[in-house]
Amino acid sequence: MIFRMSLPRGIEPMLCPTVPPVIILEGARMVGKTVVAQRLVESGHYQGYENLASLATRRIARADLAGWLSSLPDQVVIDEAQFLADLPLQIKFLVDQPHSPRRFLLTGSAALGRTGLNGSDPLTGRATRRRLWPFTYLELTERADRMAALVDDLFSGEVTTVREYQSFDAARVLGAGGFAPIALTAVDTATADRWVRDTTLGVLTEHVLPDERFDAGTAMRVLDGCYREPCGVLNLAALGQRLEVNPRTVDRYLDVLERRFLLHFLPNLAQGPARQHRTRAKVVPVDTAFASESVRRSDPAKVNDPRMIGKLLEAWVANQIAACLGVSQRLVTMHYWRDTKKDKDKKPENRHNEVDLVLVDSQGHAIGIETKLSSTATLSSAGGLAALNAVRELDFGYVIYTGTKTVRLSERIYALPIGALSSQGANS
């Protein structure tokens, strides 16, 4: 397969040597970290590149880690840095030297830097963490420079000033996802699914973290359990029962899958901060192509069910925005919102007021986003946004749908075409 992983990525300007002295670039395997890192070396931002995935390089580094690091240029990329457990601690020593010129870009396909100093992160205060997500639609259409602006436009309402957008082929985009081998290449479904399966098995059978032990088969079962209910609210007991796995074991494997960037979690804004990790969180697959393959493997017809397509679309929107938040100067946290108070007069499936995505910035400004698999949107589509607005005032609310025109539904609540996340407008 031939594809262009050389497309510019929105995160690249944030990876140049600066203060703090260490930048950690994390993300799933095959997401493009190495291409980005090598491009930064080629452009002169870093003077050296080392890849610890190379057994020869790893042997040299392990034999004399301090000496190996001292032999590298002051500004250097170390790819697949998670292969050496002692690396973060040794880098801490180097950058802590008075007036140290050392600058490091560390990349990894598993979470880095949490194994030294009795489990704490040796690079705390010395490093900034960045995540490279699968290609966003803005990046795929060579408009990576729009990613940071999109966040500000959502908070300011500026995104509503373009009234009409190009049509959006949801089935094609969701099936292709954002990983370059299938997102940038015209491949058939069988080829795409085979690549997804091979890649997932590779990730789950490779022990890239020190002393990490787990069963790949159990990990795949837990992953499939989550992928087949994209954006479902996590219930450990129910998931464990369905998979016939102890809930504590399920929770441990969710750690493994999260550290490998195969899943991420949206906490419920309605819950207190003490319960903000995974308790009743929404489970979001990192990529819709991966979730689609899992669903298709269990039931080929189900992937075409409108409800499933709607949940995949919700995951796609969440991932687009998460990637944009990663390149924005605005500090924003992502949540969903569900009011658990039940209305006995409603049907069981409608007893929760819910908003798919809520973004809250450091100044307390909040926007709500609902995703609808529909070419039309009405005020009734914004019921969850209205309910949330009554509890916590929103700056703006958006119903993102598959139509082409921006429609004002009520004060500060708009139906926004999904094309707003991928282009400026119909004439762009």
Looking at the fold, whether 169 and 86 belong to one and the same domain comes out as: no
Q: Are residues 100 and 119 in the same domain?
A: yes
Domain membership of residue 6 (yes or no) is no
Looking at the fold, whether 117 and 206 belong to one and the same domain comes out as no
Cβ count near 77 (within 10 Å): 29
In whole angstroms, give the CA distance from residue 332 to residue 176. Answer: 28
Residues 125 and 184 in one domain: no
Tell me if 426 is assigned to some domain. Answer: no
In a domain, 33, yes or no: yes
> Long-range contact list for 123-129, CB < 8 A, 24+ apart?
123/22, 123/24, 123/88, 123/91, 123/92, 125/20, 126/20, 126/21, 126/22, 126/91, 126/92, 126/95, 126/96, 127/20, 127/21, 127/22, 127/23, 127/24, 128/20, 128/22, 128/23, 128/24, 129/24, 129/26
What is the model's pLDDT at position 427?
46
Q: Which of 101, 131, 161 lies at the terminal end of a domain, its last residue?
A: 131
Tens-place pLDDT, residues 228-240: 999 999 999 999 9
Structure tokens at 352: 């929760």
Total domains in the chain come to: 2
pLDDT level of residue 271 (50, 70, 90 thresholds): confident
316 pLDDT higher than 70: yes
The reply to whether 186 falls in a domain is: yes
The per-residue pLDDT for 2 is: 40
Which two three-digit tokens encode residue 387?
């309910």
Cα→Cα distances 320→172, 196, 227, 277, 325, Å:
16, 20, 17, 21, 9
pLDDT at 84 over 50: yes
pLDDT attached to residue 162: 81
Residues 114 and 152 in one domain: no
Q: What is the band of 110 on the pLDDT scale with cuts at 50, 70, 90?
A: confident
Model confidence at 283: pLDDT above 80? yes
pLDDT of res. 421: 87
Least confident span in 85-99, 103-117, 235-249, 359-373: 103-117
Question: Domain check: are 63 and 180 in the same one?
Answer: no
Give 112's pLDDT tier (boundaries 50, 70, 90). Answer: confident
pLDDT tens track for 338-357? 987 655 556 655 556 899 99
Domain that holds residue 404: 137-421
Tell me whether residue 428 is in a domain.
no
Task: Say whether both 176 and 323 belong to one domain.
Answer: yes
Q: What is the pLDDT of residues 47-60, one digit of tens each?
A: 999 999 999 999 99
Instruction: Using pLDDT thresholds of 50, 70 and 90, give the confidence band for residue 214.
Output: confident
pLDDT for 342 equals: 57
Tell me: pLDDT of 3 over 50.
Answer: no
Same domain, 394 and 271: yes
**Is 84 inside a domain boundary?**
yes
Residues 115 and 217 in one domain: no
What is the mean predicted confidence (pLDDT) over 278-300?
95
**What pLDDT shows up at residue 250?**
95
At residue 169, the pLDDT reads 85
Instruction: Report yes or no on 162 lying in a domain.
Output: yes
What is the pLDDT at residue 345?
59
pLDDT of res. 212: 63
The residue that leads in pLDDT, 261 or 422, is 261
Instruction: State the CB neighbour count (10 A cutoff) for residue 80.
Output: 23
Mean pLDDT rounded to a whole number for the chain: 90
> What was the pLDDT predicted at 117?
44
In 305-352 the beta strands, taken as DSSP E runs, fall at 332-339
Select from 110, 131, 152 the last residue of a domain: 131
121: domain CATH number is 3.40.50.300
Which residue, chain included where needed, has tokens 């050496």? Answer: 84
Residues 158 and 109 in one domain: no
- Tell me what the mean pLDDT of segment 265-289 comes to: 84
Question: Is the domain of 127 the same as that of 141?
Answer: no
Which of 131, 157, 183 corresponds to the end of one domain? 131
Q: What integer pLDDT is reported at residue 428 of this predicted model? A: 47
Summarize pLDDT for 151-207 with one digit per residue, the tens: 999 999 999 988 888 888 888 899 999 999 999 988 899 999 999 999 999 888 876
Q: Is residue 122 part of a domain?
A: yes
Do both 249 and 124 map to the same domain?
Answer: no
